[in-house]
Structure formats: structure tokens, C-alpha cells
Amino acid sequence: MDLERELNPEQLDAVMHPGGPLLILAGAGSGKTRAITYRIAHLVHDMGVEPWKILALTFTNKAAGEMCERIDKLVGEASGLWALTFHSFGARLLRRHADLLGWGKDFTIYDDRDSKRLGKLILEKLDLDRQLYKVDRMLAAVERAKRKLRGPRQSGLKGPQRDFYILYQRSLKAANAFDFSDLIMQANFLFDRHPEVLEKYRRRFEHVLVDEFQDTDRAQYTLLRMLCPPGANLCVVGDDDQSIYRWRGAEIGNIMGFASDYPGCKTVKLERNYRSTAHILQAAGLLIHKNSRRHPKALWTEMEPGPPVEKFQARDEREEAGLVARGILKIVQQYGFSLGQVAVLYRVNAQSRALEEGMRLFGIPYRVVGGLRFFDRAEVRDVVSYLRLIQNYKSDVDLMRIMNVPPRGLGQKSRQRIVALAEEHGCSMFEVMTPQNLSGFRKKEREAVLQLRRLLEQLGQEASASSASDAVEAVIKTTGYGRWLESMGTMESEGRLENIKELITAAQDMARGTGDESLEGFLEQVALLTDMDLAQEGQGMVTLMTLHASKGLEFDVVFITGMEEGLLPHSRSLDDDERQMLKSPGRAFPRAVEEERRLCYVGMTRARQVLTLTYTKSRSMAGQVAINPPSRFLKDIFQDMGKTSKAPLAEVVDIGGFDLDDDDEIFHGDMLHASDEETVDYSDEYSQLAGDDGLDDLVGRTVVHQAFGKGLVSGARMSPHGPMLTVVFNSVGTKTVMLDYVKMK
């Protein structure tokens, strides 16, 4: 490796650090991943450190995988290197030592939905009023306690919340399961209660490197500090200006106080930006410099200045959506960017509704990030529950999910009776499913329960000697789940069947990526997947996403919408800071608003070439119209707010009140709306038409509309609202429809 040629001076300084604690303050787009991977490669290639003595921690499986690929290209295969997320690291420790804490090593990992299902059962057992004690709030209180490494009796929770935590944790242990927060908390307990285990891993890992350090919470940092005492070879990489997950427990104090926690720490600043133009960096710098709690940094670039950052005001959210859509078309045409390199960012998910309408109106294909993930779909979760059960029969949450899926005559009452029996005998639901325990059941019901047990045992035996992909295939076939979906004979059931078959491919892909074909390994990978691992760049589609979801990504063109007080910064942050000021007059600083400013900064630094900020005079949200002043962040960036353009990038179009020709009657049917529940891909090749060219080719084509069924296109033309078709439908006669709302046969 020619490090001096491939790294800038600051990166080289970080990579060549001989040992001891190292803090790398890496500004946005400054090549932090390059620095950390080259440091690992330098340790292995030049310093002779064995790869298995290195631990690299990050926050997504995707980032960990990419890190390993880069290192392998630099030094060859780095066999034995642990490149993991914090949660994967905790899971790996517990797979080896869970028995020391009273769990079996074949434990199940519960995700958020599993925890919620278990939480609802506990509320029922405690006979708590569901209106007063919401399961989400109860679980949030438990999670906050776990992030502070506090068990039920040390949590500070009182009354029903404390009782809930006690019973929740007791139920997890009875099911031989850990929830996501347990993976970190229990790993801490393992090191704390078993010094011999801690010493083993201290001796093993001579070098520990942590990426995205600004996102660590108290439990993660405590685990890290136990593993790496002062003086250890601990390298942390992060940017305090991009700490935006306080609501998830991330503590900016970890990176701000690192040098104090590790005396003699060397600090290296990476300030050269390789992503954004000078104009974008200047605007982002003006914004973030207003924050009081940060390490001073000044990003710079050798790139061209690029187009100036612009701001535009719209009348309301509908006009804003039209403005953005027109702006996208103009910028793409002017600079030659692809639609896949355009992102529209917003503070809250509810803003996407109007923006989606704008995209559809102008025929711009788009995708919404943050919709329903593949592994969150009901049919996929059903199959995964079967797989988890045959690995761990004690998982009551999974057994309750699949007990009557596909239908086998075991409804809600049957489930309740088995739950009651399990509580009476002090064991899991599976263990109580025996002929002697079921003597009080009706014959048909008893046989259905016993048949389910035999089915699970059969699958368990088959899975013990097969790969994860074979186990998936066996579940689909042996349980009758695949036949059940086929028997429905609907388009929806066909799609669901395709999804569970895709799970076979997912298992094969994960096996190739990890080298582990086992069912246990596959289920662990599924449980530890994050939103960022599942985000993929849309081909030819504009990306709509929240500012939080945009972290770690970059686009040629970025629009940040909703730059208004009460939205960005959000009203909750304003209220939070006001409460803190009342509690501690003269001592509290606006930490919530500062995080909102960091969030805006993150969004701005996603842009490579073009950045546009928009805001409205009024905005309808949650059934109410709000009239808010422009965001204070705009005032931080632009010295003269009076120069705001009230004209859009092209012609302003209000998407909520366009006029139609007298003979036009537009039908949208019952098209699925992309929201937090679904991701809709409007990428049909014809939806990208921007003129009359090609429209004549549609005449005579057969189309299918969700509401009207099949029809024949008798005419096609371009309207101000996009391509319009005149279609003679078999069922309802002639209608005019927008091209986006039909499928071509």
C-alpha cells in the first residue's frame, strides 16, 4: 500500500498512529470510512497484527460488510477479523456465554414487534387499563432503563411500570429470549459479573475501532470502556455535528468527553470534504457554527463552487409539492442528472403525502424509504416465526403467531386455554402441549394441537441437518403455507407467495455473505437487520425520505422541505428546551434545538451538487392549518431573508386544485398509497414520458385498472397533469385515466 499517495495528510496521521487512544473527528464527506479501513489494513499489513485480534464496531451490518470487503481488497482475506454492529457483538458474546447468565445458548432474539406482542400479553396478565397503560409507552420505559443498564428493581420505575418490567423480563427468560436492548445490557452484565470472560476478550482484542461513535448510547459506551480501559488501543471515529439520535438514547457527551475519559488521547480532524461543492459547504458551515456544544471544525473542498444554495417559499404544502416536482424536472434537464440521484427530504413522515401527489401529478417515478420492509411483511414474519420455533420451542410469542396460520381450527379461545395451562404448569406453551395436559380439550381441538406439535418436531429434526434455505423451503411446503396462499387465487396472495419464496433466496444470499449456512446464523442476521441495511438506491426513481433516514447517504440533488418553525426545528424540541430552561434557569442550553440544527446539517451535507430549501406560509397537518414563520435555520444560512424567491424554480403549480378539460373525468381508483405501511414503486417505463413522443404507440394497447379491470386504449395525449389515456373498459365503458394508474398488458 502506498499510504502517502492514497491518503491526505490528516488521514495518514490517523492511519499511522502507533497506539493508544485515538479520536478521529471526521466531518461530513471527509473520507472517514477510508481512514478506518486503511488503519485496519495498516495494522495487519505493516504492523503484523493478526486479523482475529482486531474488533471493528459500527451501526449497520451493511457498513460492517463493506468494511470487510475494502480490507480484503487491500491486504487479501483478513480471516478472523470481527467487523460487527454493537448488537451483533453482544449477540456473539451471548451465543458463547449466555449460560453464565442463566439463558440457553440457543436463545431467540425478539424484535420490536415480538416485544410488543409479549407486552400486550403482560398487560392482560396484570389486568391494566389499555387506555391508561399503552404497550408502546411501557416498552419505551423498559428500553430507557436498559440503555442505562438498570434491571427492573434498579430502574427507578414505580407501580404498574415496575411490575410490567419485572414480568416482561421474567417472560423473556422463560422463553429463552433476549430483546434488542438486552443484547447490549446482558453483554455488560456478562463482563461485569464474570471478570474472567472480560479478561479473555481484553487479551484477544489488541485493537478496537468504532465507527459512528457519536451515535453510541450509555450502555454501548460502558461496554466499550470495560473492554478497553484507559491506555488501550481504542480508535473512535465520529462527528459530533452529525449526532441526531438522542431520541434513541445516543449521548453526544460520549464523543465530547472522550479525551477526558482516555487521558493522552490523540485527536485528528478530517476537514477536507470530497462530496459537496463549496457553496453547499459554506451554507452548512454557517448553520452548524451556531451550535454551542461541538468540536470546532471547518470543512473545505477543492471542488468547484457549484450552483448557489437556493430557498423558495410556497403558499402551502400543495404548492410546495408542485414547486419541488417542477424543480426536479428542470434540474435534471439542465444538469443531466438521473432521477435516481435526486432526494426529497422532510422532517416527519406525514409530509410525504403531498409530495407523493406532486410526484404522481408530474409523472415522476419515486420510492418512499421507510415503508414496509421485506422482513416486516406478515407472510415473511409467519415463516420466520416457524423457523424460530423449530430452533427454540420455548418461544411463546412465535407459537401464538403461527398457531392458526395456516388455519387449523385453533382460534383465540384455544390459544388462551393453552396460555392458561402453561402458566398453571410453569412452563412454555409448547411443553404443555401433551396428551395428558390436553385431556380437558375437545377431541378435534386436542388433535389439532398435538398435530401442530408433531409438525414442529418434524421440522426441527429436518432443520438440524439442513441449511437455512432448505429449512425455509421445508416450512413453506410441510406446513401447507404455500398451498394455502395458492388456494386464495388472488393477486395479493400471489404476491405474498412470491415473498415467502424470496425468503429462500434471502437465506442463500446471507449464507454467501457470511459463510454460515445454518438456520441459527440466518435467524440472527434477520433479527439484527436495520433500516439502513435494507435501503437500496432506486434505479431511475426520486427518493423521498425523512432527514433521519438520509444519514450516511448522498445524492447529486437534494431538496429539504418544510423549513418552518415548529417543523424544523420541530415543536417538540422547542417545548423540550423550554422545560429545561424552567428547571435550570441560566444553566440549561438548547440541546434539543441544537440536535434539530444538526439534523438539518446532516440533510444539507447529503447534497453533492445542488441543494434547495423550501418552506410555506401555511401548512395543513393532522387536520389543522398552521401558519408558522420561516425556520431560524434559514436565518442562520441566509443573511437577507428578504431576498427569498416566491416564484418556484419553474411555474408554480398547486396540485390540489388544477382545472380539467370539460370532457375529462379522472379516476384514480383505489391505488395503494405509499406510507409507513407500504413502499410503492412507480417505475413503469411509460411514466417517464415528458412529451407527446411515444404516446401514439399506446393506442390499441390493453391495460388493467385496479377499479375498472381490463380495457382498450382508444386515445392518448399529454396534459398539464401528465400522460392521459382514453380507455374503453369492458365493465364501465369509456373513461379518461392518468397513465400512472394503469398497468400495461
User: Can you give the pLDDT at residue 589?
Assistant: 60
Contacts of 140 (CB under 8 A, 6+ apart): none
CATH number assigned to the domain with residue range 108-175, chosen from the 4 options 1.10.10, 2.60.120, 3.10.450, 3.10.20: 1.10.10
Selected catalytic residue, list 11, 108, 220, 242: 242
The phi and psi torsions of 625 (rounded to 5 degrees) equal -100, 125
Selected catalytic residue, list 33, 478, 530, 679: 33
173 is catalytic: no
284-368+537-643: CATH topology is Rossmann fold (3.40.50)
* pLDDT tens by residue, 703-723: 887 667 888 888 887 764 567
Same fold, 3-92+185-272 and 284-368+537-643: yes
267 is catalytic: no
606 is catalytic: yes
Contacts of 693 (CB under 8 A, 6+ apart): none
pLDDT-derived band at 278, boundaries 50, 70, 90: very high
**Residue-averaged pLDDT of the chain:** 84
* Rounded CA separation 139/128 (Å): 14
* Rounded CA separation 481/493 (Å): 11
Range 686-744: architecture per CATH: Beta Barrel (2.40)
CB 85 within 8 A of CB 528: yes
Selected catalytic residue, list 114, 143, 179, 212: 212
Range picked from 182-196, 309-323, 638-652 for highest mean pLDDT:
182-196
212 is catalytic: yes
Among 243-247, 268-272, 441-445, 579-583, whose mean pLDDT is lowest? 579-583
pLDDT at 177 over 70: yes
DSSP string, 511-534: HHHHS--SHHHHHHHHHT--HHHH
Whole-Å CA distances, 521 to 107, 387, 511, 516, 525? 12, 12, 8, 6, 6
User: Can you give the pLDDT at residue 499?
Assistant: 81
CATH class of 3-92+185-272: alpha beta
pTM: 0.73
* Rounded CA separation 666/179 (Å): 49
Could you state, in order of their start, the residue ranges of all structural domains in the chain? 3-92+185-272, 108-175, 284-368+537-643, 374-528, 686-744
> Which has more pLDDT, 507 or 543?
543
pLDDT at 634 over 60: yes
pLDDT at 650 over 70: no
* Rounded CA separation 653/323 (Å): 7
Range picked from 4-18, 526-540, 675-689, 731-745 for highest mean pLDDT:
4-18
Grid cell, residue 224, equals 466499550
Selected catalytic residue, list 10, 32, 182, 317: 32
Range 374-528: architecture per CATH: Orthogonal Bundle (1.10)
32 is catalytic: yes
Over pLDDT 70: what percentage of the chain?
Answer: 87
Selected catalytic residue, list 10, 179, 211, 356: 211
Grid cell, residue 19, equals 497506539
pLDDT at 21 over 90: yes
Selected catalytic residue, list 394, 606, 619, 632: 606
